[in-house]
A and B are shown apart, each in its own frame.
Chain A
Amino acid sequence: MRISTQSFYARSMNDIGSQQQQLFRIQQQLASGSKFLTPADDPVASARALGVSDTLAQSSQYATSRDRATLSLSREEDALKSATEILQNVKTLVVQAGNGTLSDADRASLATAMQSNLDQLVNVANADDGNGQFLFAGYKSANPPFVAQAGGGVQYMGDQGQRLIQVDVARQMSAADDGRSVFQSVQGSAGYVASASAANTGSGVFGGVGVTEGTAALYGKDFNISFAGGNYTVTTTDTPPVVAATGVYTSGTPIAFGGVQVSMSGTPADGDSFQVATAKNAGTDVFAAIGDMISALRQPLATGGPAAQAHLQNALSTANVKITNAHDNVLTIRSSVGSRLNEIDALDSAGGSRDLIDKSYLSDLQDLDPAAAISEFLQRQTSLQATQQTFARLHGISLFNYL
């Protein structure tokens, strides 16, 4: 076969050119650290790498969201911790106020101390997230959720919106709790709360309310105990009322009705009445409970006689139970915040290990093995050198050399 001189040169140049191209490619791969420079080099791996980096990007979104949820929940936890401490202070003050040897002035100063605690509690309930957004306002975070009313008391202006944050692929977590469920609710497990009518004129004082039979027919209803002629009548607050119990009143003997019993002492006057209501119906507003107590403490006893004494004692008992219920409620929410924070930690570590797997898969897909690439580079370099040398030799061979 005749080798045309032209094609000898053309083919040699082609060969050298294509080898240089391959060398350049490996050089580019080494420079970029990537197996493929464009999708055409490995279409399947490129498409997969896109999918995996999508997953990784989403995972980092969730991580950012978890950071945000952690921040918000930690602030809530701080606020709830303060609220717990304040409520404990208030409970201590209630116990002090029950001391019968206190003078009106002593009680007034306790009332002042309690007022300061109430102010602090309102302040905590109106805590913001450091960015002007109120923690306990639900969605309406632009304005303070608890607003003092002209006639006393505090009203909740927020809503019940749950601020959900996407903390994982299929998990949305509430990053805040609304003020109503924190400060104006009680747990379902809270028991009965007894209270005395403000119009009572006798010296009847109630003690603790105990549950004797949770399955009784009327258990769970609200009750009214009224006294007339030394007898008591217990009716439900339904319309029309149902009589739950009647009997002769003996001071110190508990009155039992609808599965509960309440101890009574002192001498109730005719027409005096007491209410025994479920915690939910007795008024769940912790601010109102503290406020009621403050006004009870400010009532001077010196001129009131046994009726006034009974009033104070009953008011303190009611407030004590309500504040304990509120305290329990705050503690329950605190523990829910704590478990949410724990869950975030768990999701963080799960997300971290998922990321690790995805990253190593992504690296398998697209990262270059430098050792293999360098060895291929050297191999091709040798091959190019050989081609160049043989070309130079062949080029030198000519019939003219021998003429």
Chain B
Amino acid sequence: MSMFYTGLTGLSVARSALMTTAHNTANVYTAGYSRQTSMIATNGAIGLASGFVGTGARVTTVARSYDAYLTSQLNGAEASGAALASYNAQISRIDSLLADKTSGLSPLMQSFFAGVQGVANTPADPAARQQLISAAHALANKFRATDQYLSDLNTSVNEQIQGSVGEINTYAKQIASLNHRIGQMSAVAGGQPPNDLLDQRDQLVNQLGKLVNVKVLEQDGGKYNVFIGNGQSLVLGDQAMSLKAGPSAADPTRTALSLVGINGTATELADSVFGGGSIGGLMAFRNETLSTSQNAIGRLAMSLTDTFNDQHKLGVDLNGVLGTDFFSQAAPGVFTNAHNNGDMVLGASITDTAQLSISDYSVEVKDVAGVLNYSVTRLTDKQVIGTFTAFPISFDGVSLSVASGTAQAGDRFLVQPTRTGARDVDVLVLDTAKVAAASPLIAGNTAGNQGTGALGAPRVDAGYLAAPLTAPVTLSFDAATGELSGFPAASAVTVTLADGTSTVYAAGDPVPYTAGASMSFGGITVKMTGAPADGDTFTIKNNSGGVSDGSNALLLGALQKKAVMDGGTSTFGSAFAQLVSAVGNRTMEIRTAEKTQTSVTEQIRASRDSISGVNQDEETANLLMYQQMYQANAKVIQTASTMFDAILGIRS
């Protein structure tokens, strides 16, 4: 073999290596690019008697510096990062909504109750009444606006999911098409890897993973199979399936994703299967935070309006007429699953706002030995709270009944008791005169009474509304027996002593007098103190013309401090504070998790880049190295030429 040829192989290797270095330098900022290296090997040697003489070098392949393990780790880390980032972006919006200290729900509830107190202070003043109505409007508006804000967030989540579907489908198609081209190119190049296409495909998998968590399995022949959710295939070799967004069968207000198979059938994927990617983050957000926040606001609105209405109805307005509902009240929502076979429609009503939770509930119909069982699951803690066989079904302050139709086994229903609680709040009392600030009854003693007996202000409860007083009740005291008589003939009287013991006296019976004991009859409770004298009489009658009576307004105002939520453990204010603290804590958790995830991702990326990344100085050094190699090999050819010339020169 000639020295010329050996030099030539060196030149060609150097050129190839220089090309690779140039390619690396050109792609120093290309996303997903893996550094390439020309692999150099010796050519076969010629065996001579004096030994083997080498015949130069050749480039065996251009290799990609690539670590499959690190790449898949990076994909996973970036998918989690994307999920946390989208979760954080959404929850931060609720967090800032709740941060409002000047016009948030909390200050508006305070000014509403200040308005109630204002009416209690000057019940006859129309200005105070107007102020209460205005404050109530402001509060109702805030409830509705807060609800609207949260509904808009739901819509925005729906739109983002909808928008991502197109991208996912494009990526899936591109991966399938690259699978095809990689096979083709590799075959054409005699099995050499098409490095840049492989990088492109890995980059697509990475982009896809940022939207939705995927699993990749490399099949024989180097094709990628991509799986989504809990194992549904999105890409199989050269074939790509597609995703479709549409209203969920269980809850039409939400957009869910369905996988359209090769045969064209769409299968809805549950939110819970999406653990990563921005879609996973959005779905976790709407299930964990958005729905509970909206339910918490709704429950607060429902509790406040319900308890306020109940007390308002126990008072009388400026015209002496019993009060009406002050606020309008929302009804619970029930969704029939779109896949149900039966035609049963459920109706729901609230039985006790104190027992309401912030959860949604699912009702599942099961056939147990020929009997339809209705199993109710609380969705926040996935707890089955009961299995029922007959309606009405009551749980957590809600009662379900059949509006029409019959169910079939396998049917499902979604019950949202409080979701729309804040959406539908409005003020119904618009006339200042209709604010029921006064108590319906007034007590008094007769002018000539000798004793010091005094009848306190009568209180009424819901039982009074069934049979309001039509004629005054006059109680008279008999000193000889120590008894009071004159209670309405039809009512039994319950006497409750200061120590809590109570005794019931049959209707028509006289009642022994105990100072300080409260006496209840027909929904009315009065307390008498002092020492009445024989023959003293006391009256309880309708409060007519009592424009300066603010006693019902005082009771309405007292609701602010009363624990009427969470089974009687939370006030309105503390229930709201719970929501603020829950959302705040969750936001903080997500932020911390996102920070941690970012630094984990950074570390994995650094490891990957230390293998696959391009370092400009290194390439520059390679450039110099291969340039010198080129020059040296050229020198070899020059030397060979000189040698050849020398031989030719001998003859001349």
Q: Check A7 against B617 for contact (C-beta < 8 Å).
A: no
Interface centre among B124, B452, B576, B620 (most CB of A within 10 A): B124
Evaluate contact between B584 and A46: CB separation under 8 angstroms: yes
Provided the pairs A39-B587, A138-B548 are in contact, do residues A47 and B581 lie with their beta carbons within 8 angstroms?
Answer: yes
Write the nearest CB–CB distance from A15 to chain B, whole angstroms: 10
Q: Kindly list chain B residues whose C-beta atoms are within 8 Å of the C-beta of A162.
A: 457
- B602 interface contact, C-beta 8 A: yes
Residue contact A180 to B29, C-beta cutoff 8 Å: no
Q: Confirm or deny: B383 has a beta carbon within 8 angstroms of a beta carbon on chain A.
A: no
Q: Which of A7, A143, A161 has the most CB of B within 10 A?
A: A161
B240 at interface, CB cutoff 8 A: no
Most buried by B among A159, A175, A284: A159
Q: Which of A31-82 contact B (CB under 8 A)?
A: 36-44, 46-48, 50-51, 53-54, 57-58, 60-61, 64-65, 68-69
CB distance from B438 to the nearest CB of A (A): 7
Pick from A50, A137, A163: contact of B577, CB under 8 Å? A50
Find out whether the CB atom of B444 lies under 8 angstroms from the CB atom of A143: no
CB-based contact B448/A280 at 8 Å: yes
B interface SS class: helix
* A36 and chain B: residue at smallest CB distance: B99
Binary CB contact string for chain B from 559 to 577 against chain A (1 if under 8 A, 0 otherwise): 0110000000000011011
Per-position contact with A for B610-643: 1 when CB-CB < 8 Å, else 0?
A: 1111111110110010000000000000000000
Proximity string of chain B (97-127) to chain A, C-beta cutoff 8 Å, 1 when within and 0 when not: 0110100001100110110011011101100
A43 and B610 contact, CB distance less than 8 A? no
CB neighbours (8 Å) of A1 from chain B are 606, 610
* Complex partner residue of A163 from B448, B549, B557, B606, CB under 8 angstroms: B549
**Contact between A38 and B121, CB atoms less than 8 A apart:** no
Given contacts A46-B584, A184-B447, 9 further A-B contacts (CB under 8 A): A4-B610, A5-B28, A38-B584, A39-B583, A41-B588, A51-B577, A133-B124, A138-B546, A400-B620
* B88: min CB distance to chain A, Å: 9
Give min CB distance, A274 to chain B, whole Å.
21
Given A54-B106, A61-B117, A180-B447, does the pair A40, B584 have CB atoms closer than 8 Å? yes
Q: Which residue of B lies closest to A166 (CB)?
A: B554
The answer, among A51, A61, A184, for a CB contact under 8 Å with B573, is A51
| A399 proximity list for chain B (CB < 8 A) | 616-617, 620-621
Contact of B551 among A46, A61, A164 (CB under 8 A): A164
**A43 near B609 (CB under 8 angstroms)?**
no
- In whole Å, how far is A64's beta carbon from the nearest beta carbon of chain B? 7
B230 proximal to A (CB < 8 A): no
The answer to the question of B450 belonging to the interface, with a C-beta cut-off of 8 Å to chain A, is: yes
B605 at the interface (CB under 8 A from A): yes
Which 8 pairs between the two chains have the least Cβ-Cβ distance?
A4-B613, A39-B584, A43-B584, A139-B546, A40-B587, A47-B581, A57-B110, A141-B548
Contact, CB under 8 Å: B554 / A6: no
A-B contact pairs, 13 of them (CB 8 A): A7-B609, A38-B587, A43-B585, A47-B581, A57-B111, A61-B117, A61-B557, A65-B121, A131-B125, A160-B445, A161-B549, A162-B457, A398-B616
CA distance A180 to B588 in the complex (A): 64
Alpha-carbon distance between A162 and B438 when the two chains are bound, in angstroms: 11
Residues of chain B with a CB closer than 8 A to A166's CB: 117, 120, 554, 557-558
Q: Are A140 and B106 in contact (CB under 8 A)?
A: no
Per-residue CB proximity of A386-403 to B under 8 Å, as 1/0? 000000000000111001
Whether the pair A159, B546 counts as a contact (CB closer than 8 A) is yes
Asked if B526 is an interface residue, CB under 8 A from chain A, the answer is no
Q: In residues 159-196 of chain A, which contact B (Cβ within 8 Å)?
A: 159-166, 169, 172, 175-176, 180, 184, 188
A58 contacts B561, CB within 8 Å?
A: yes
Contact present for B577 and A281 (CB under 8 Å): no
| CB–CB B560/A2 < 8 A | no
Quick one: which of B435-480 are within 8 Å of A by CB?
438, 442-445, 447-450, 452, 457
Chain A residues contacting B114 (CB-CB under 8 Å) are: 57, 60-61, 64
**Inter-subunit contact A140/B547 (CB<8 Å):** yes
In the complex, A281→B449 CA distance in Å?
A: 9
Q: How far is the CA of A400 from the CA of B618 in the complex (A)?
A: 11
Q: Does B578 belong to the interface (CB within 8 Å)?
A: yes
- Interface flags for B464-503 (1: CB within 8 Å of A; 0: not) read 0000000000000000000000000000000000000000
Within 8 A of B (CB), among A133-158: 133, 137-143
Residue among A2, A43, A164 making CB contact with B615, cutoff 8 Å: A2
Contact (Cβ within 8 A) B602 A141: no
State how many angstroms separate the Cβ of B233 from the closest Cβ of chain A: 33
Given contacts A51-B577, A280-B450, contact A139 B442 (CB under 8 A): yes
| A11-B602, A398-B616 given; A139·B545 CB < 8 A | yes
Interface: B280 (CB within 8 A): no
Contact with B along A103-143 (1 / 0, CB 8 A): 00000000000000000000000000001010001111111
B 65-103 to A, binary, CB cutoff 8 A, 1 in contact else 0: 000000000000000000000000001100110110100
Judge whether B543 is part of the interface by a CB distance below 8 angstroms.
yes
A6 with B584: CB separation less than 8 A? no
A164 CA to B582 CA, complexed, in Å = 39
A96 at the binding interface (Cβ < 8 Å):
no
Does A199 belong to the interface (CB within 8 Å)?
Answer: no
B610–A39 touching, CB < 8 Å: no
- Whether A47 contacts B584 by the Cβ 8 Å rule is yes
Which of B113, B450, B578, B624 is in CB contact (< 8 Å) with A281?
B450
- Which residues of chain B are near A89, meaning CB under 8 Å? none
Tell me the smallest distance from the CB of B574 to a CB of chain A, in Å: 7
- Verify B106–A50 contact, CB threshold 8 A: yes
Residue A217 at the B interface, CB < 8 A?
no
Closest to B595 in A: A18
Q: For residues 5 through 42 of chain A, which have their beta carbon under 8 Å from a beta carbon of chain B?
A: 5-7, 11, 14, 36-42
A165 x B120 contact (CB < 8 A)? yes
- Give the complex CA separation of A138 and B106 in angstroms: 36
Smallest CB-CB separation from B620: which chain A residue?
Answer: A399
- In the complex, are the beta carbons of A140 and B548 less than 8 A apart? yes
- Tell me whether A51 and B546 are in contact in the complex, defined as CB-CB below 8 angstroms, given that A40-B92, A44-B581 are known contacts: no
B591 at the interface (CB under 8 A from A): yes
A371 at interface by CB-CB < 8 Å:
no
The smallest C-beta distance from A47 to any residue of chain B, in angstroms, reads 4
Structural contact, B113 and A61, CB atoms closer than 8 A: yes
Q: Decide yes or no whether B421 CB sits under 8 A from chain A.
A: no
**Contact (Cβ within 8 A) B545 A43:** no
List of A residues within 8 angstroms of B554 by Cβ: 164, 166, 172
Question: B28 near A6 (CB under 8 angstroms)?
Answer: yes
B617, A161: Cβ atoms closer than 8 Å: no
Bound-state Cα–Cα, A62 to B580, Å: 26
In the bound assembly, the distance between CA atoms of A400 and B623 in angstroms comes to: 12
A372 at the binding interface (Cβ < 8 Å): no
Which residues from chain B contact A133 at a C-beta distance below 8 Å? 122, 124-125, 547-548
